[in-house]
Amino acid sequence: MLFRKTIFALALTGAVLPAAFANSGVTWVGGERGFEFHAQKSTKSRAEVQKELEAYRKSPMTADGGTWEGRDARYTSPQHSYAFQGGKLVHTDSIAHDTPRPTNLAMTDAERALYQGH
């Protein structure tokens, strides 16, 4: 009798579990709500996308100047390079050096002290 009840309980649990974990297609991973993919209309034609793919395959460089190497196994970010020319240290890389310097003027004195660890 106990064996029958155990088999019945396992069968009932097996039938109820899928319904207990069913949701509306949203994935829950690690206790956090995931997201769903939806088809999006593109403004580019298939030929334009193929052309961009071929150009990327010839020169796999990202917008920031980095490259993917080894079939996307390693990302190499652009690095600054310098050399002495005419007795001066000059930039020899192609990274823009005219970007404004970051400022922390928007911080209060208390926020700046927290940031600096004082």
Q: Quote the tokens at residue 3.
A: 């064996």
DSSP summary character for residue 61: B
Q: What does pTM read for this prediction?
A: 0.33
Q: Does residue 42 have a pLDDT over 80?
A: yes
Q: What are phi and psi of 44, to 5 degrees?
A: -100, 150
3-state secondary structure of 48: helix
Q: Quote the tokens at residue 13.
A: 């649990």
Residue 34 — pLDDT band, cuts 50, 70, 90? low
